[in-house]
Structure 1
Amino acid sequence: MSEAGASADEWAGRVPTMRDVAERADVGLKTVSRFVNGETNIGPQLAERIARAIDDLGYRRNLAAASIRPGQQSRVLGLIIGDLGNPFWSGMARAAEQVCAERRWLLLTASSEEDPDRFARLTDRLVEQRVDALMVVRPPGEELPALERAAGDVPVVAIDRPSEHAACNVYYDNAHGARAAVETLRTHGRVGYVGDTTGMWTMSERFRGYSEAVGVVDAEIVRHSAHTMEDARTAAAELLDAGVDALFTANNRASVGALLAFAAAGRRVPMIGFDEFEAAKLANPPVSVANAAPEVLGRAAAEAAFSLLDGAAPPDVLLEPDLVLRGSEAR
């Protein structure tokens, strides 16, 4: 049998090369090189064949193998966050970086922009770079093969959104925080909801907490469309027009969008947001929040990664958000 048709068992005992991938996919070596380097000007059928060959062979380009001897550590952790433009994620990354700095380790941080394909490319690339452990905020949707592959190579810590492939999950009790916030607001009457897609685990949990607090959900005053601050402003304005008596905003961007809607309408309703944000204390009145502190999340994730590298098996870390009442929850 030729290498191109060899079974996976026949590759046992040696590391597959890029040339092996080219032969298995029946494409040129340069085409495989362009594919693994992230070039996008490759036809979809060729790309699919190459990707399938990579999966079949278990090929992984190792960019640092020549510089790291067996048994050594690179003293580098990898971190993939959801969106570098979101202050929550940048705050979390900064805390993780501080833990690394205390140990004289390096942290490599990248943003998936909540895109599963980009997440997969980043995951593979960081493992290729020989990070000693990987911390990830997985994008919305189903579990990804790339994360399962990575977990077979390095210890993986899933942050904020648990994963069945992670050796340790570090996350907040989102449902509890949302439920406590909405129960506080229910004394005013109908509580509207503004959040992002429930395809995102955190949003699903926060909406679950909201639903448990209100009992019977009125779809007229629920919006899952707040992907951006402008989306949130539009959604909050719609709920003001619908006559809500109070508002729960399920992340920091939704909270800022709601403040913009209040300013445009010249009126406000009692509100509590989920996640702290810089402008919360500057609003009038200051915005109350269920605070899932990003610095606590980042530090706990990095410490879990180092525990795994030390040979321990740390349990999942479930953090409790603090309900910080500043006045916006009142009329």
Structure 2
Amino acid sequence: MQRKPTMNDVARQAGVALKTVSRYVNGDPTIGPDFAERIRLAIDELGYRRNMAAARIRPGQSAKMIGLIISDLSNPYFAALARAIELGAAESGYMLIIASSEDNGQRHDRLVDRLLEQQVDAIIDVPPRSPGRTWAQIPPPLPPLVFVDRPADFAADTVLADNAGGAHAATRALLDAGARSIAFVGDSVEIFTMGERLAGYRRAIEERGLRLDDAVVVDTAHTTDEAMRVVLDLLGRGHADAVFAANNRAAFGALRAFRLGETFLPLVGFDEFEAAALVNPPISVVTQDIAAMGRAAAGLVLARLAGDDSPFRTVVLPTSLMLRGSERLRPGI
């Protein structure tokens, strides 16, 4: 692993005293503009980052901290993923710092910078839907990096679920039960997982020789309320005879729409949610082993921290279809 540049390196590169660099890093406004510009250029060229944790670390020791950037901590899926990673990291004595990007590229960039300033030992990242800069644009050295749930255009270990396969199985189950116009309700297909689920849904329909109807494909359901409104609209127009809800929020929104519209369509969701087994009929879902995904991400990053320099790996975990009866039409819920 490449040695991280120090304040001494910056001082030598800029041709100034170490004390001057220290004053600049700590925001001293009295430094002359010539010295300030030389120091700024040296920092950019070397990729120096202020070590926020230095005062707490004895020489030769690490912070024993791993940064985790997820999409949305309020989403039960990401909360469960964070918990699994936290448990895996704790087994090796590492503390997890968790932050949410809200799928915003600029916020994600700020979080990355903050974690690097904190000198975390490694970063586990769920890449945002709308990326800002690329990881390749960040000056080296970078700590060990693992992508989870979604890939990124950067060479690093990656842990994914078989999203396309799970969506294909869910759509096929609805077709097997007699549906012919299945609505796809989900978040933006710019998100890797959503794009994969849409691909699996389309493949299942094409395999049956049915016409793909873009009028029932909706990728604007970012929240439960938006999913509810989408499904209410579908019910009102009568275009769909079944619903594939491409995430847990879409599934819950569909249930609310069914109650308000007093109509129940066959439904299969992607990802388990607490109410799925409590309604009548219980909701069929595609399940991911979130705990296994978290353990895999933690295991990969801990192996890199232990010196593993083998080629980067992409781990794709299988999904399972849990049929409970909602894929078939039944009266009432």
**TM-score tier (shorter):** 0.7 to 0.9
| Aligned residue in 1 for 2:143 | 154
> How far apart in 1 are the matches of 2:272 and 2:215?
27
Q: How much does 1:233 deviate? A: 0.4
> How far apart in 1 are the matches of 2:143 and 2:196?
28
Q: How much does 1:142 deviate? A: 4.5
Q: How much does 1:165 deviate? A: 2.0
Q: Secondary structure at the match of 2:138?
A: helix
Q: Is the Cα–Cα contact under 8 Å of residues 286 and 321 in structure 2 kept in the other structure?
A: yes
Aligned length: 297
| Aligned residue in 2 for 1:323 | 321
| Aligned residue in 2 for 1:279 | 275
Q: How much does 1:190 deviate? A: 0.9
Share of identical aligned residues, percent? 43
Q: How much does 1:113 deviate? A: 1.2
TM-score by length of 2: 0.81
Q: How much does 1:171 deviate? A: 0.8
Q: How much does 1:149 deviate? A: 2.3
Inter-CA distance 233–65: structure 2 relative to 1 (3 Å threshold): same
| Aligned residue in 1 for 2:103 | 114
Matches within 5 A, 1:67-216: 67-68=56-57, 71-142=60-131, 144-146=133-135, 149=138, 152-186=141-175, 187-215=178-206, 216=211
Mark the runs of 5 or more structure 2 residues left unpaired by the alignment.
Answer: 15-22, 29-39
Inter-CA distance 152–188: structure 2 relative to 1 (3 Å threshold): same
> How far apart in 2 are the matches of 1:315 and 1:207?
25
Q: Is the Cα–Cα contact under 8 Å of residues 6 and 48 in structure 2 kept in the other structure?
A: no
> How far apart in 2 are the matches of 1:102 and 1:148?
33
Q: Deviations over 1:218-272 (max 9, x none)?
A: 1111111101111100111122223211110110100110000001011111111
> How far apart in 2 are the matches of 1:209 and 1:32?
52
Inter-CA distance 61–105: structure 2 relative to 1 (3 Å threshold): same
Q: Deviations over 1:115-166 (max 9, x none)?
A: 1111111111112112111001110135733575287410100010012325
Q: How much does 1:13 deviate? A: 10
| Aligned residue in 2 for 1:46 | none
Larger radius of gyration: 2
| Aligned residue in 2 for 1:220 | 215
Q: How much does 1:290 deviate? A: 0.8
> How far apart in 1 are the matches of 2:183 and 2:64?
47
| Aligned residue in 2 for 1:39 | none
> How far apart in 2 are the matches of 1:178 and 1:150?
38
Q: How much does 1:315 deviate? A: 2.0
| Aligned residue in 1 for 2:31 | none
